[in-house]
Amino acid sequence: MYIPKQFEEVNIDVMHELIRAHPLATLVTHSASGLNANHIPLHLTGSPAPFGTLRGHIARANPLCGEIAGGVEALAVFHGPEAYVTPSWYPTKAETGKVVPTWNYAVVHACGALRTIDDAAWLRAQLEALTRQSESELPEPWSVSDAPAEYVAQLSDAIVGIEMVIAKLLGKWKVSQNQPIKNQIGVVAGLRTRENSAAEAMAVLMQARQDNAR
């Protein structure tokens, strides 16, 4: 991933926060037929230091099972807030006209060896951990034990665990840091006029960055 210095995020806690908030990963591997991408929610644990471990599960019928059985290098991409930025939000548009559209986004790339784990106890623990994380903000959280045990066992037989100990973690926060502060403020204000969740999420992310820079 190309990361200009001004957009580079090196704080591991910040990158971990994005992964936990947006756990649906684009998991990229190299198969016999070429590059392969699967979209899989992954649960992050903080150990081993410094980057942690990603765990999830896939269908036993997924060809990925055979491709990674012995362990292969993989890339997990986590997408955070993103939004289109129109130059009309820049005060400098009226001053010089030297502005163009862009796209703001935050993204994390996690790299490491991906392997399968075919163990019922491990899989049950992974399912419960991912469910707790996903249900934590709901008023009546669902848990794995709410479903009949026979039903859970039947479905569990059809899946296999996957695990990646993260060897490299890259973060890119492209949130208008290359613009003068008045343009950054203009973008936040403009995003908030869009009245949609994606634009608001980017406005919140940008505002936090501006506040921390002061």
Q: pLDDT tens, 3-41?
A: 999 999 999 999 999 999 999 999 999 988 899 999 999
Q: What is the DSSP string of 100-122?
A: --EEEEEEEEEEEEEEEE--HHH
pLDDT number for residue 75: 98
Residue type at 175?
V
Q: Which of 197, 198, 208 is nearest to 173 (CA)?
A: 208
Domain layout of the chain by residue ranges: 5-83+103-177
CATH number, span 5-83+103-177: 2.30.110.10
For residues 148-156, give the mean pLDDT. Answer: 95
Does the pLDDT of residue 214 top 80, yes or no? Answer: no
CB 209 within 8 A of CB 173: yes
- The tokens 């993260």 sit on which residue? 166
How much of the chain is helix, strand and coil, in % rounded to 5? Answer: 40, 35, 30
Residue 40's Cβ-side half-sphere holds a number of Cα atoms within 13 Å equal to 27
Nearest 5°: CA angle at 142, between 140 and 145? 135
Question: pTM (2 decimals)?
Answer: 0.94
The mean pLDDT value for 203-210 works out to 92
The angle formed by the CA atoms of residues 104, 13 and 105, to the nearest 5 degrees, is: 5
Distance CA 204, CA 214 (A): 16
pLDDT at 196: 92
